[in-house]
Amino acid sequence: MKHEWKSGLVAGIPIFLGYLSVSFGIGILASNAGLSVAEAVILSAANLTSAGQVAGIGIIAAGGSLLEIIATQFVINLRYALMALSLSQKAAPSLTTPKRLMLSYGITDEIFALCSAREKDVTAGYMGGIIIISAAGWILGTFLGAAAGSILPEAVTDAMGIMLYGMFVAIFLPAAKRDRRVCVVVLAAALLSCLFHYVIRSVSGGFSVIICALAAAFLGALLFPIPEEDPENDQKEEV
Amino acid sequence: MSRAILYIITMAVVTYLIRMLPFTLMRKKIKSRFFRSLMYYIPYTVLAAMTIPAIFRSTGSLPAALAGTAAAFLTGWLDLPLIAVALAAAGAAFAAGFIV
């Protein structure tokens, strides 16, 4: 069992480094949006999700409603349900319900990718090790970003506000390049989003993301239903 | 309790439930092809809708944001790692902020 923890901790080192830099951007974003360092750290420790946290920070800063934040998190993070479902089948028989309740906290895109790439069964120690080192990077990076946000010159923090969006581009653009179906739904989502932003201005940001994302994904599911094999292999590059 | 903390805890509860319920309760595969297709496309459409047009207002000025966006799309198109794309975007926005 000890060995499993160790291999999980080692396997998670690349995620630790990646999370450290990405969550630095989250910390800056939170700080620019008026959250305190403590609030930013609690946000990252409690949520462990990039896109959801960015959307959440935006809604908090814009004074959005609780319903808006619930609906936004639900749609943005719904993909975790699919990953959880898939991991659930790969989990070792030793994963009892209490262990599952704890490990659920750490189902992110990268952790999911590592766990599903493992040839052996996923044990609580292995997954737990990955989650601990990954979450440490996520929380530490947020702390550094939020603290630096008030120390660094405005020119630097301003420029760093684009980092998270750059990361999102790095996820959807290569996927759209490789897969024409993804290209179509991504373009549809972007166009709809611009429409809501510049023309129909009465819908708030969080709801606009939900409507655009769902409408574009519906379009994709209608026009290009994916083949019968397991979609999990195509989900691994998400954050 | 501050308003931000209330919102943060609400987010955390929703996100945890999304992860926990399928992981502990459901052990079968999703059968519906439409639903699986929807789940396949949602990550990409969410990210695209969140990025565009918000990325244009993500830095101090529009020209800086446009420079950062161009850098992100270029490096992203070349399949560079996430961190490289993020840093290229920030670097370009930072540089453009001084020039413009």
In a domain, A238, yes or no: no
Taking the C-alpha atoms of residue A185 and residue A193, their distance in angstroms, rounded to an integer, is: 12
Q: Could you tell me if A131 and A191 lie in one domain?
A: no
Q: How far is A116 from chain B (nearest CA, A)?
A: 14
- Contact B90/A166, CB-based, under 8 Å? yes
Look at B89 and A169 and tell me if their CB atoms are within 8 Å: yes
Tell me if B72 and A165 make a contact (CB, 8 A cut-off).
Answer: yes
Scanning the structure block, which residue is given the tokens 């919102």?
B7
Euclidean distance between CA atoms A171 and A205, whole angstroms? 21
pLDDT of A132 strictly over 70: yes
Q: Does pLDDT of A237 surpass 50?
A: no
Q: Is A35 on the interface with B (CB under 8 A)?
A: yes
Q: What average pLDDT does range A103-117 have in this prediction?
A: 83
A76: closest chain B residue by CA:
B46
Looking at the fold, whether A214 and A105 belong to one and the same domain comes out as: no
What does each C-alpha distance from A219 to A36, A139, A181, A213, A216 come to in angstroms? 40, 37, 10, 10, 5
Separation in Å, CA B73 to CA A170, A193, A212, B65, B92: 8, 18, 21, 12, 12
**pLDDT tens string B77-100:** 999 987 788 889 989 999 998 887
Name every chain B residue with its beta carbon within 8 A of the beta carbon of A81: 18-19, 21-22, 39
According to the model, what pLDDT value does residue A206 have? 67
Predicted local distance difference test score (pLDDT) of residue A92: 81
Q: Do the domain assignments include residue A173?
A: no
Residues of A in contact with B30 (CB under 8 A): 82, 85
Q: Worst-scoring range by mean pLDDT, A61-70, A103-112, A123-132, A204-213?
A: A204-213
What ipTM score was computed for the predicted complex, to two decimals? Answer: 0.86
Show the domain range for A219.
179-230
Flag whether A169 is in a domain: no
A17 and A97: one domain?
A: yes
Give me the residues paired with residue A91 across strands.
A122
Tell whether A35 and A153 lie within a shared domain.
yes
Same domain, A108 and A221: no
* Cα gap A23→A18, rounded to integer Å: 9
Q: pLDDT band for position B10 (50/70/90)?
A: very high
Percentage of chain A beyond pLDDT 90 is 44
Average pLDDT taken over every residue of chain A: 85
Q: Are residues A139 and A198 in the same domain?
A: no
Query: What's the total number of domains in chain A?
Result: 2
Domain boundary among A104, A129, A161: A161
- Judged against a pLDDT cut of 80, whether residue A21 lies above it is answered with no
Contact partners, residue A222, CB within 8 Å, separation at least 6: B34
How many other C-beta atoms lie within 10 A of the C-beta of residue A203? Answer: 14
pLDDT at A81 over 90: no
> pLDDT tens, A139-154?
999 999 999 877 777 7
User: Radius of gyration (Cα) for chain B, nearest Å?
Assistant: 19
Q: What is the pLDDT of residue B27?
A: 65
CB pairs under 8 A between A and B: 309
Which residues, 6+ apart, have CB-to-CB distance to A92 below 8 Å? A121, A122, A123, A124
Q: What is the DSSP string of A103-138?
A: HGGG--HHHHHHHHH-SSPBPHHHHHHHHHHHHHHH
> Do A119 and A195 fall within a single domain?
no
